[in-house]
Amino acid sequence: MALEGFGQIAEQLRRSTVQVASSSADGRGQGSGIIIRSDGAIVTNAHVANPERSRRVAGHSRLVVRLWDGSSFPASLQVRNARRDLAVLQIPTTGLTPATLANSENLRVGELVMAVGNPFGFIGAVTTGIVHAIGRRPGLGPTKWIQAEVQLAPGNSGGPLADARGNVVGVNTMVAGGLGLAVPSNAVARLLAGDLNQAPLGVVVHPAIVPVAGRKRLGLRILEVVRGSAAEYASLRQGDTLVGIEGQALRSLDDLEQAVEGGGDRLLRLEFVRGDPNKVRSVAVRLIVSQVADPERGRRAAMA
Amino acid sequence: MQSSLESLSNELAKLVEEFQSDVVAVHARSHYPSSGVHWRPGIIVTADHTVRREEDIRVTLPTGKTVNATLAGRDSGTDIALLKAEGLGSPATQRGDGSPAPPCGIGELALVLGRSPDSGPNASLGIISALSGPWRTWRGGRLDHYIRLDATLFPNSSGGAVVDCRGRILGIATSGLSRIAGLAIPASSINRVSDVLLEKGYLPRGYFGIGVQPVALPEALRTSLSLPNKSGIMVVSVEPGGPADRAVVLLGDVLVSLGNTSLEQIEDLQAISDSGVIGKPLNAKLIRAGSLQEVTITVGERRGE
């Protein structure tokens, strides 16, 4: 018996999959996206809808979305969450065919999945495989990934990973160790509902081995402090190096991610080094996990 | 109505769910853990090449709990290692007898199930891409079937369960026995080797104490000695005090038969070595200085390393 379905699902998914490109059309910075509402709302990866990169490439920050039928529209960036690598774009059109989001909590290891996207700019390429694992990846923090045995390539980013019914279970985001890694669709639902928290701490860090009190240990050097963030109100500065959390020495980047993730509003004590490597300083940061979309609230809480 | 695609997807997910309860993660090397299968009550089988230390071994159980385990026995020849762990109970799933008979032959789907301490159970899908009878691995052990898989084996797949189309464990996966593909170590071989490993901790092999290489026998010599062999195996080193030395086998002797078995290639000698000959006297025929002589070698024991 022939397997009816793969072809059908591919055809249906293609109509809900778009190409996201910078307006320079030089082929760089291309990715995929998923139509999630008929009125032009599109989900993609934050690294695809990256205004900084589009500006560098194109000279201005316009993103262009191209539909399966070849028509293209300028897109505006509605929401961008770099931590979960998701973004929502809006294009000025209606009557689109949206994909159906599945509940990714119900996805099981072993299920058949299909990825649609534009690898290397080739429009609407389809690959299939099974769900290899669901959960954390070593080195990628505490976040949950759908790890699928599908062949992805640059350009697949932001495109749909769908189950055997053609419902979207994840957003293809990266390739690691031969597996395609997708952000679970429930994270998309949370982003759309507005309760996917932005970086609760508000720092960009880079791991570095630093001498602290004569001993070399892992530190996380702060490259950037987000304006209005909990870190700024706790007076952390660019150039500071985080070396511990709640008295425990940092062993990996995951430690910070784990300490920051979840757990509601609370105080988090961070140890850091500023200038003098022999002096470990300490600061209490008030994490506002429940709602960080409002920076004013962070300010009030931190000053309270 | 469910499409056939959905039913296949469901069947695969069900198999994973059923069998993952007997699949553990094995921590016996740095970096990547490997996988193991709860094979008998309290006993986990894994791929020997993933066991890189003999102490401080731990296993992560399906419950997510990580417990200490001890090495109960290992054999690099067949790439089988056994671990004992506390609190395991009995395996929940069926083992096949390891004979991949129809309908589970070449071309049929096979799942490789592993476990990662980070993300729990994992699965790789492929088919049985080649199949044949007994063979000897490059590590020297004998396995009942050559079962080649085309599923992608990831760093922690070795030691994982290979589940066949009948929903039985066909064996365990290993990437250590072939450069080109993942293989399944058949369940029947695991059962046979486990019996010995649990008793002795190693797989004993016959030991002769000689280094050999095959040599072609000249036509004239074959005729004059009326030998059926086209080749024999020449002794190129003799272990002082070893079984062959005690039987006065000399450097340069060409062995042509041992017991009732004719020796033409090194594999013939290996086949005798693992056939329960330890401690038995074997009559060896050899060519020395152009004539046929006989010596009696009492076979010693070599511990599988």
Same domain, B231 and B282: yes
Same domain, B19 and B73: yes
Same domain, B219 and B98: no
CATH class entry, domain A203-303: mainly beta
Amino acid A180: pLDDT:
96
A85 catalytic, yes or no? yes
Question: Which of A47, A229, A240, A255 is an active site residue?
Answer: A47
Question: Which of A157, A229, A240, A255 is an active site residue?
Answer: A157
User: Is B131 in CB contact (< 8 Å) with chain A?
Assistant: no
pTM of the complete model beyond 0.90: no
Same domain, B115 and B191: yes
Same domain, B145 and B233: no
Question: Which of A85, A163, A240, A255 is an active site residue?
Answer: A85
**Chain-wide mean pLDDT for chain B?**
92
pLDDT at B219 over 70: yes
pLDDT at A303 over 60: no
Query: pLDDT tens digit string along B6-37?
Result: 999 999 999 999 999 999 999 999 888 999 99
Q: How far is A10 from chain B (nearest CA, A)?
A: 12
Same domain, B182 and B220: no
A157 catalytic, yes or no? yes
| A288 — pLDDT class (breaks 50, 70, 90) | low
Contact B152 A9 (CB under 8 A): no
Q: Which of B145, B170, B200 is the last residue of a domain?
A: B200
Which residues of A make CB contacts under 8 Å with B? 1, 3-6, 9, 108-112, 129-138, 145, 147, 149, 163-165, 177-179
Fold of domain A104-193? Thrombin, subunit H (2.40.10)
| B302 — pLDDT class (breaks 50, 70, 90) | confident
Amino acid A302: pLDDT:
33
Same domain, B160 and B225: no
Same domain, B249 and B123: no
Residue A238: how many other CB atoms lie within 10 Å: 11
In A, minimum Cα distance to B116 occurs at A133
Token pair listed for A39: 């009125």
Contacts of B123 in chain A (CB under 8 A): 109-110, 130-133
How many residues does the structure list for chain A? 304
Going from N- to C-terminal start, the domains of chain A cover 12-90, 104-193, 203-303
Amino acid B60: pLDDT:
95
Contact A4 B111 (CB under 8 A): no
CATH of the domain at B212: 2.30.42.10
pLDDT at A277 over 90: no
Residue linked to tokens 């008793």: B199
Residue A4: how many other CB atoms lie within 10 Å: 11
Amino acid B304: pLDDT:
62
User: Is B155 in CB contact (< 8 Å) with chain A?
Assistant: yes
Question: DSSP secondary-structure letter at A121?
Answer: G
Domain of residue B56: give its range: 4-200
Same domain, B189 and B241: no
| B305 — pLDDT class (breaks 50, 70, 90) | low
CATH of the domain at B65: 2.40.10.120
Question: pLDDT higher for A258 or B36?
Answer: B36
Say how many domains are in chain B: 2
Q: What is the mean pLDDT of residues A159-178?
A: 95
In B, minimum Cα distance to A146 occurs at B119
Token pair listed for A156: 């697949």
Q: Which of B200, B219, B253 is the last residue of a domain?
A: B200
Report the residue of A149, A167, A179, A252 to disrupt the B interface, i.e. the one with the largest count of B CBs within 10 Å.
A149
Q: What is the mean pLDDT of residues A247-260?
A: 79
Query: pLDDT tens digit string along A34-48?
Result: 999 999 999 999 988
CB A51 within 8 A of CB A166: no
Q: What is the mean pLDDT of residues A275-291?
A: 79
Query: pLDDT tens digit string along B60-84?
Result: 999 989 999 999 999 999 999 999 9
Q: Which of B168, B200, B232 is the last residue of a domain?
A: B200
Q: What is the 3-state secondary structure (H, E, C) of chain B?
A: CCCHHHHHHHHHHHHHHHHHHHEEEEECCCCCCEEEEEEECCEEEEEHHHCCCCCCEEEECCCCCEEEEEEEEEECCCCEEEEEECCCCCCCCCECCCCCCCCCCCCCEEEEEEEECCCEEEEEEEEEEEEECCEECCCCCEECCEEEECCCCCCCCCCCEEECCCCCEEEEEECCCCCCCEEEEEHHHHHHHHHHHHHHCCCEEEECCEEEEEEECCHHHHHHCCCCCCEEEEEEEECCCCHHHHCCCCCCCEEEEECCEECCCHHHHHHHHCCCCCCCEEEEEEEECCEEEEEEEECEEEECC
Amino acid B239: pLDDT:
95
Same domain, B193 and B221: no
Fold of domain A12-90? Thrombin, subunit H (2.40.10)
Instruction: Please give the C-alpha separations between residue B46 and each of A246, B21, B131, B182, B194, in angstroms, as whole numbers.
Output: 39, 15, 21, 14, 11
pLDDT at A300 over 50: no
Amino acid A81: pLDDT:
84
pLDDT at B165 over 70: yes
Same domain, B158 and B262: no
A47 catalytic, yes or no? yes
Same domain, B13 and B161: yes
Contact A164 B3 (CB under 8 A): yes
Sign of CA dihedral A234, A235, A236, A240: negative
Token pair listed for B10: 């469901």
**Chain-wide mean pLDDT for chain A?**
83
Work out the percent of chain A whose per-residue pLDDT is above 70: 84
Query: pLDDT tens digit string along B102-114?
Result: 677 899 999 999 9
Contacts of B12 in chain A (CB under 8 A): 110-112, 130
A203-303 matches A12-90 in CATH topology: no
